[in-house]
Structure 1
Amino acid sequence: MNAQSDSAPQREAVTPDSLLHTGSGGEVTAEDLVLASGRDITPKNLKWAERRLADDGPAALDKLLP
């Protein structure tokens, strides 16, 4: 018989901090920025994202995400 009760909560593994943050170490595309903002990929939203990337570079993604 199992020493733990069936009603006891199971401990889940903790997600490493490095997986919880996006980091902008790689290439960030306009599509990435649009999707991270929760918008649909449309020509208008892609132009918005391209302007943000031109102004802020890859940090534009970090400004949207925690």
Structure 2
Amino acid sequence: MSASTPEESRASDDVHTPDALLHSAPAGNVSPEDLVMASGRDVTPETLDWARRKMESEGPAAVERLLP
């Protein structure tokens, strides 16, 4: 039985998933809570009100604009 070293196990991690494949926009049915969470804010009555107003003016694209 051989012991692996950190260098040996790191070799298999050399292949990275392209960033574009790691991110996706929501397909639909975006909720105000989704927008609050995507913005990195805590879900509170105030942030939900903010999200509702933003979604009324921008629609589901409001969440997509937050994504990298």
TM-score scaled by length of structure 2: 0.71
Report 1:1-66 matches (<5 A).
Answer: 6=5, 7-8=7-8, 9-12=10-13, 14-15=16-17, 17-18=20-21, 20-66=22-68
The number of aligned residues is 63
**Which ranges in structure 1 are unaligned for 5 or more consecutive residues?**
none
Aligned equivalents of 1:11 and 1:56: distance in 2? Answer: 43
Contact 2:33 2:51 in 1 (8 A): yes
Aligned equivalents of 1:55 and 1:22: distance in 2? Answer: 22
Query: Offset of 1:26 from its aligned partner?
Result: 2.1
User: What stretches of structure 1 move > 6 A for 4+ residues in a row?
Assistant: none
**Which ranges in structure 2 are unaligned for 5 or more consecutive residues?**
none
